[in-house]
Amino acid sequence: MTARPVRRREQSEANVCLDLLKEPVAIPCGHSFCRSCINDCWDQEDQTGSYSCPQCRHTFTPRPDLNKNAMLAELADTLKKTKLQDAPPVDSYVGPGDVECDVCSGRKRKAVKSCLVCLLSFCEAHVQIHESPAYKKHKLVKASVNLQEKICPHHDKLLEAFCRTDRKLICLLCMDSHISHEVSSAGTQRNVKQAQLADIQRQNTERIQQGDKKLQELRETKEFLQRSAQAAMEDIEKLFTQLIKSTEQRRSQLKELIRAQEKTELNHIEELVRKVEQEIADLRRRDAELEQLSLTDDYIHFLQIFPSVSVVPLVTDISSIKEKPQFSLEFVKKIGSEMIKLTNDDLSNLEVVKRSGVCRILPVEPKTREEFLK
């Protein structure tokens, strides 16, 4: 099998920071790294006194000296000058609400994973170092800014156990104080709680469905009430429009009735006035004749006329209008009360019925002849 040729870019990338090599140095096993990267790695191994290659895991004792790799340094400089390095996508940089990569220098990229052992967050490029077998015991989770909360405040160890007795997360060193307690791994407890969470989610979904059903019923009731109220308002408007129209008609009828009665009475009275005035005129003329008769000196004429002299009575009978006719306030009140009574009766004979799901105001069907005539 033919080996795949190594591209210049792959040769110039650091295996730790996965960026172009900065001050590339070679270690005894032949691998090359950034001077600052390999120093950082070996500074963490000073306590053990054994130093390993981040790529092949070969160990060295004592700490090797670092020699500049001139060829890789030249290649890296060439790549920088010719701009062969691909620019990261714009959306890979840190934005509002994103977790920034702890390894990136300069402009920070968006972290995609956080390591619970390293207590660092890494972008897509820098997290690839955890694919090395040396990091197989590291725990990668979704990028988080609260990594310190996952560490025991007493022993600075990962909270990877759960005390069911105290109901709290503990580290492995804390287990000495929880010997008599029921302790399990955090992963096992997660599985237990995951099942409980699924049941809670199911119940919550049922509650949401019940709430949606109630909400829909309330909305339908609201719409029905609004439609019913609107229909009732329209019916009331029609009813009172008819009542006002009927009242106006009855008012006109009553006014015409009063005027007709007034005209009839006035005609009768005026006829009586003419008759009485005629009788008075005749009596005045008769009185003048009697006055002349009383003053005459001709006693023969006087005696001849006197037998025909008599009292002429008034013949016009006005007894029918002995009391003055009047359309008094009491009369008007009586007419008004009759009208109000009629209106109230009409309203009392109305009832609210439901038809086609909408309230309607309709008159009660007449049961007797009098009600039908009314």
Q: How many CB atoms lie within 10 A of CB 163?
A: 18
* Same domain for 174 and 70: no
* Same domain for 180 and 48: no
* Same domain for 349 and 228: yes
CA distances from 298 to 106, 290, 309, 326 (A): 162, 14, 16, 55
The DSSP bridge pattern shows strands 168-170 and 183-185 to be unpaired
pLDDT surpasses 80 at 188: yes
* Same domain for 173 and 283: no
More confident residue, 243 or 314: 243
pLDDT surpasses 80 at 169: yes
Q: Is 318 inside any structural domain?
A: no
- What mean pLDDT comes out for the span 3-19? 43
* Same domain for 184 and 49: no
Write down the pLDDT at residue 135.
79
pLDDT band of residue 365 (cuts 50, 70, 90) is low
Write down the pLDDT at residue 206.
95
* Same domain for 281 and 234: yes
CATH number at residue 21: 3.30.40.10
pLDDT band of residue 354 (cuts 50, 70, 90) is very low
* Same domain for 221 and 181: no
Q: Is 351 inside any structural domain?
A: yes
| Geometric angle at alpha carbon 160, from 156 and 165, rounded to 5° | 105
Q: How many CB atoms lie within 10 A of CB 353?
A: 10
Q: Is 33 inside any structural domain?
A: yes
pTM of the complete model: 0.40
| Residues facing 13 on adjacent strands | 20
Instruction: Report residue 353 as tokens.
Output: 């019925």
What is the count of structural domains for the chain?
Answer: 3
Ranges 41-50, 229-238, 345-354: which has the least confidence: 345-354
| Residues facing 158 on adjacent strands | 151
Answer with the one of 58, 86, 114 that is the final residue of a domain. Answer: 86
pLDDT surpasses 90 at 219: yes
pLDDT in tens, 36-82: 888 888 888 887 878 888 777 778 888 888 877 776 676 666 555 54
Write down the pLDDT at residue 373.
52
The Cα–Cα gap between 192 and 182 comes to 14
Look up the domain containing 179 and give its range.
161-190
pLDDT in tens, 332-341: 666 667 666 6
The Cα–Cα gap between 351 and 97 comes to 65
CA dihedral (155, 45, 116, 96) positive or negative: positive
Answer with the one of 21, 53, 86 that is the final residue of a domain. Answer: 86
pLDDT in tens, 257-275: 888 888 888 888 898 899 8
The Cα–Cα gap between 32 and 47 comes to 23
Q: Is 122 inside any structural domain?
A: no
pLDDT in tens, 128-168: 878 777 778 888 888 887 777 888 888 878 788 999 898 99
Write down the pLDDT at residue 259.
87
- The closest alpha carbon to 174, from 182, 165, 187, 163, belongs to 163
Lookup result for tokens 């006087």: 302
Write down the pLDDT at residue 217.
94
- What mean pLDDT comes out for the span 326-334? 63
Answer with the one of 44, 63, 86 that is the final residue of a domain. Answer: 86
pLDDT band of residue 207 (cuts 50, 70, 90) is very high
Lookup result for tokens 């439609």: 227
Average pLDDT value for the chain: 77
DSSP reduced 3-state for 176:
helix
How many helices (H) and strands (E) the chain has is answered by 7, 13
pLDDT band of residue 330 (cuts 50, 70, 90) is low
Lookup result for tokens 């199911």: 202
Write down the pLDDT at residue 316.
72
Side-chain half-sphere CA neighbours of 226 within 13 A: 6
CA distances from 278 to 27, 267, 283, 308, 318 (A): 158, 17, 9, 21, 14
The Cα–Cα gap between 257 and 228 comes to 42
* Same domain for 230 and 180: no
Q: Is 100 inside any structural domain?
A: no
pLDDT band of residue 34 (cuts 50, 70, 90) is confident
Strand residues in the chain grouped as ranges (E) = 24-26, 32-34, 51-52, 59-60, 67-68, 113-115, 120-122, 140-142, 161-163, 168-170, 183-185, 350-355, 358-363
Q: Is 295 inside any structural domain?
A: yes
Write down the pLDDT at residue 197.
92
pLDDT surpasses 70 at 89: no
Write down the pLDDT at residue 66.
82
Share of the chain above pLDDT 70, in %: 72
Q: Is 64 inside any structural domain?
A: yes
Q: Is 252 inside any structural domain?
A: yes
- What mean pLDDT comes out for the span 234-260? 87
The Cα–Cα gap between 139 and 150 comes to 12
In what helix (H) or strand (E) does residue 271 lie, and over which residues does it extend?
Answer: helix 186-295
* Same domain for 297 and 175: no
For the chain, the distance separating the N- and C-terminal CA atoms, rounded to the nearest angstrom, is 115
* Same domain for 185 and 73: no
* Same domain for 340 and 239: yes
The Cα–Cα gap between 115 and 143 comes to 8
Write down the pLDDT at residue 3.
32
* Same domain for 341 and 226: yes
Is residue 217 within 8 A of residue 347, CB to CB? The reply is no
Instruction: Report residue 49 as tokens.
Output: 């006194």
pLDDT band of residue 243 (cuts 50, 70, 90) is confident
CA dihedral (328, 334, 336, 339) positive or negative: negative
